[in-house]
Structure 1
Amino acid sequence: MAGEDLESRGAKNRGNGYPSSYYSSSYYQDTSEKQWTSWLIPAFVVANVVMFILTMYFNNCPKNITSSQGHCVAGGLRRFSFQPLRENPLFGPSSSTLEKLGALDWNKVVHGHQGWRLISCIWLHAGVIHLLANMFSLLFIGIRLEQQFGFVRIGVIYLVSGFGGSVLSCLFIRSNISVGASGALFGLLGAMLSELISNWTIYSNKAAALLTLVIIIAINLAVGILPHVDNFAHIGGFLTGFLLGFVLLLRPQFGWVDRHNLPANVPSKSKHKTYQYVLWVVSLVLLVVGFTVGLVMLFQGVNAYQRCHWCRYLSCVPTSRWNCGSN
C-alpha cells in the first residue's frame, strides 16, 4: 500500500533538527594561503532540495492515500502535499516512497544486492523539517570549511562520512529504513575536531575552541538517543570524518609558515610536526581496517547487536515517555 505508515515501517531520520556551529579560533595563517570560493556545499544543498521535491512528486499523496489513513496535509499543493501528520510528523512523504527511491534498508542492501543505497540514502529526507535542519547546518558548517580547505577535500569528507554512517547504521538497524544527510554532517563536525587537534600548535584560544566544539558535538549526539533518530549514522559519520580530518586537513606549522621572515642563515623548520605524521598514518590505517571489517560484516549478514548488546542504547534510550521498540 503506497501510504504506508512511517512508524509502522519504522523509518528513521538522521537528525531531527539540531544546532550546529563552527568554532571561532584564530590561527597563524600564511598570507599566501589560498582562500577558496565555496560552490560545492551550496550545490549539495540544491541537490538535496531538488531530490526532496522529486520525492514529493513521486509520493503523490492524494492519489495513493486511503480513507482509513486520513487526509493529506496542505492538500492545496496537490501531488506535492504531505502525508497525514500521524504518519509523518515531519511534513514529508510516506516510508514506502522513501524506500522505493533509495532509503537505507538492510534487507535490500544485503540480500537484494543494492549496495548503492548506502549512498543514495544520504540524499533523501523524511520531511521539510528534517530537510531544513540539515541544510541550514550544512551551509553553516560546510561553507566555512570549503573556503579554508577547498571543495575536493571537503567533498571527500562529506561523501565518505555519509557512506561510513550508512555502513554502521546498516549493521545495527534491520527492521527500519533510514534517510538523511546528517551522517555526512557529523563527518564535517568530526573533521573540524581532528583538524583542531592535528593543527593544535598554530591556533590561539585553543582550550575555548576545543571546549566549544566538544559541547556542540555532545549535544548533537545526545539528540540521537531520541526514538526515530538514527544515531548510528551520526556516530559512524562522525568517526569517519574524525579520522579523515587527520588525513586530509593538515596545516603547515607556524615555524614553517613564518619561514619568509627568518634570516637566510637560519634553517627553517619542518613543514609538519612528527605527531601530525603519526596521526596521519594511524588514521589512514584505522579507516581502511574499519571500512573493510564493517563491509565484510555487513554483507555476511552479521547482526551487530549480537556482538554488542548495550549498543542499542547509543541510538535510543527508553523512558517513561517513549518506547524504543525492536532494534
Structure 2
Amino acid sequence: MMKPAGAGAGPGPGPGTGAVEVRVERPQRPPVHHPNTARLRARPYYRRWTPWLVPAASIACVAVFLVTMFVNDCPNRSAGNCTAGFLGRFAFQPLKENPLLGPSSTTLLKMGALDVSKVVQGRQGWRLITCIWLHAGVVHLLINVLCLLFIGIRLEQEFGFVRIGLVYLISGFGGSLMSALFIRASISVGASGALFGLIGSMLSELITNWSLYANKVAALLTLVLVIVVNLALGILPRVDNFAHIGGLISGFLLGFVVFIRPQFAWINQRRVAPGPHAAPAERKHKTYQYILWIVAAILLIVGFTVAIVLLFRGYNANDHCSWCHYLSCVPTKKWKCNSSPTTCTAMLQGNTLNFTCEGKGIHRSYIVAEATQDKIDQLCNQLCS
C-alpha cells in the first residue's frame, strides 16, 4: 500500500517535505485444490482377514480320516497282511489293495464316498458333499491338506471366510457332479475338486480385477501353468480328473461373482474431503466387471441345474462322448485305466457258501464247507481287493 505525501500529520521536518511511506503487500494466491494429487497419494485399503476357516477345514479332513481308519479296523476285518500293523486298529489296508496307505473301499463307501448307483437309485444325494471330506489314504490326505493351506489361507486373508467357504463347498459339489456324470464304475473321494475350485477362483479374480494388478501377465502365466500341470497329473490312474475339471470350472465362474473388487479410484474418493473442485464421482466397478458377474452367475445356475437333473435321470455322459474318458486316464504300457471294482455276493445254504465275484470280466463261484463269519470276511477281502 502507498501513502501520498501530506496525506496525514506524520512526523517529519515540515510540511511539504513529509516522508513517503511505502508498504508493499503481495497478494496471497488462493489455495489450489488438486483432487487427483490427494487420490494418488492415498493408499487404497482392503480389509485383511484373520484366516481360521481353512485351518479348521484342514483339521476336519484329518479328523474324518482318523475316524475312517478307526472304523476300517484292518487287523480285525482283513485276513492279516495289514500295512503298518504296529498302528493297531489304525493300520492300513495291504498295499496291493490301497497303495495310498488308507482304508478299504468298503469302509469309504460306508463313510459316505461318492457312488453313482447309491446317489441315483438310492437317492443318497448327500454323498455329493460328504465325499469331499473323505480321503483314500495318508498320501492323498497330505497332498490335499498342504495344497489347501498353501492356497486357501492367502485367499481367506484377502476375501474372508464367508466367500472362501462358499467357493470351497460349491466347487467341491461341482466336482462331485462332474465325476458322477462321467465315472460310473468306481467310487470317488477327496477334496481335490474343492481345491481346484480355489485355483480357478484365483484365475477369475485376476481377470475380473485386471486393472488392479501390476504384474498381470506374470501372474496369469503362473496360474495357467499351475492348472495345466495339475490337470496333466490327473490323467494318471486312480486320480479323478473329472472332479478336478468340475471343481475348476465351478471355482472359475464363482470367482467372477464373489471375488469382485471395487476400483482404487472409488475407494480413494471416499477418503478425500469434498470441496468445490472435487472430481466427478467414480463408479465402484467397471462395466466389464458387471458383465462378467452376470454371465458367470447365469452359467452357474443353469449348469448346476442341468447337471443335477441329468444325474438323477441316470444320464451317462460317456454315452455321448466316446473320448472323454481320456481326460481322466490315458492308458499306457505301464498301467491300465479299467478301474471298475470287483463286487462280491455271498449266499449261505446250510454250511455251504456260494461266493460270486463280478467285475473286470470276472465271474466265479466258490464253495466253502463249514462257512464261518471269519472265513467269509477273509475270502471277501482276498477276492474283492
TM-score (norm 1): 0.88
Asked if structure 1 preserves the Cα contact closer than 8 Å seen for 2:120 and 2:311, the reply is yes
**Corresponding residue for residue 270 of structure 1:** 283
**Corresponding residue for residue 149 of structure 2:** 139
**Corresponding residue for residue 294 of structure 1:** 307
**Corresponding residue for residue 316 of structure 1:** 329
Asked if structure 1 preserves the Cα contact closer than 8 Å seen for 2:45 and 2:267, the reply is no
What's the offset of the Cα at 1:269? 1.6
Give the whole-Å Cα distance in 2 for the aligned partners of 1:29 and 1:110: 57
Cα distance per residue 1:101-158 (max 9 Å; x no partner): 1000000000011000000000000000000000000000000100100000000000
Cα distance per residue 1:235-257 (max 9 Å; x no partner): 00000000000000001112223
Give the whole-Å Cα distance in 1 for the aligned partners of 2:258 and 2:58: 23
Structure 2 residue 193 is matched with structure 1 residue 186: no
Structure 2 residue 217 is matched with structure 1 residue 207: yes
Give the whole-Å Cα distance in 2 for the aligned partners of 1:30 and 1:40: 28
Q: For 2:70, give the aligned amino acid.
A: Y
What's the offset of the Cα at 1:313? 1.0
**Corresponding residue for residue 66 of structure 1:** 79
**Corresponding residue for residue 86 of structure 1:** 96
- Give the counterpart of 1:75 among 74, 85, 90: 85
**Corresponding residue for residue 123 of structure 2:** 113
Report how many aligned residue pairs link the two structures: 297
- Give the counterpart of 1:229 among 215, 233, 239: 239
Give the whole-Å Cα distance in 1 for the aligned partners of 2:280 and 2:307: 46
Give the whole-Å Cα distance in 1 for the aligned partners of 2:273 and 2:116: 59
Asked if structure 2 preserves the Cα contact closer than 8 Å seen for 1:35 and 1:147, the reply is yes
Structure 2 residue 140 is matched with structure 1 residue 130: yes
Q: For 1:36, give the aligned amino acid.
A: W
Asked if structure 1 preserves the Cα contact closer than 8 Å seen for 2:69 and 2:91, the reply is yes
Give 3-state SS (helix, strand or coil) of 1:82's partner.
coil
Give the whole-Å Cα distance in 2 for the aligned partners of 1:169 and 1:32: 40
Greater helix share, structure number: 1
Q: For 1:147, give the aligned amino acid.
A: Q
**Bigger relative contact order, structure 1 or 2 (CA pairs below 8 A, ≥6 apart):** 1
Structure 2 residue 61 is matched with structure 1 residue 48: yes
What's the offset of the Cα at 1:29? 9.8
Asked if structure 2 preserves the Cα contact closer than 8 Å seen for 1:201 and 1:254, the reply is no
* Change over 3 Å in CA distance of 1:123–1:249 after alignment to 2: same
Runs of 5+ in structure 2 lacking a partner? 1-40, 341-385
Asked if structure 1 preserves the Cα contact closer than 8 Å seen for 2:204 and 2:252, the reply is yes
Identical residues among aligned pairs (%): 64
Give the whole-Å Cα distance in 1 for the aligned partners of 2:237 and 2:43: 47
Asked if structure 1 preserves the Cα contact closer than 8 Å seen for 2:118 and 2:124, the reply is yes
Give the whole-Å Cα distance in 1 for the aligned partners of 2:306 and 2:273: 48
Structure 2 residue 251 is matched with structure 1 residue 238: no
- Give the counterpart of 2:178 among 145, 168, 177: 168
Give 3-state SS (helix, strand or coil) of 1:228's partner.
coil
Q: For 1:288, give the aligned amino acid.
A: I
What's the offset of the Cα at 1:307? 1.7
Give the whole-Å Cα distance in 1 for the aligned partners of 2:223 and 2:332: 28
Give the whole-Å Cα distance in 2 for the aligned partners of 1:182 and 1:312: 18
Give the whole-Å Cα distance in 2 for the aligned partners of 1:277 and 1:257: 17
Give the whole-Å Cα distance in 2 for the aligned partners of 1:290 and 1:164: 9
Cα distance per residue 1:285-322 (max 9 Å; x no partner): 00000001100100000110012211111111111221
Cα distance per residue 1:153-189 (max 9 Å; x no partner): 0000000000000001000111100000010000000
Asked if structure 1 preserves the Cα contact closer than 8 Å seen for 2:44 and 2:267, the reply is no
Give 3-state SS (helix, strand or coil) of 1:320's partner.
coil
Asked if structure 1 preserves the Cα contact closer than 8 Å seen for 2:103 and 2:137, the reply is yes
Q: For 1:285, give the aligned amino acid.
A: I
Give the whole-Å Cα distance in 2 for the aligned partners of 1:32 and 1:202: 12
Give 3-state SS (helix, strand or coil) of 2:188's partner.
strand
Give the whole-Å Cα distance in 2 for the aligned partners of 1:209 and 1:94: 41
RMSD of the alignment, in Å? Answer: 1.5
Asked if structure 2 preserves the Cα contact closer than 8 Å seen for 1:30 and 1:257, the reply is no
Asked if structure 1 preserves the Cα contact closer than 8 Å seen for 2:69 and 2:102, the reply is yes
Q: For 2:183, give the aligned amino acid.
A: I
Rg larger for:
2
Runs of 5+ in structure 1 lacking a partner? 1-27
What's the offset of the Cα at 1:258? 2.7
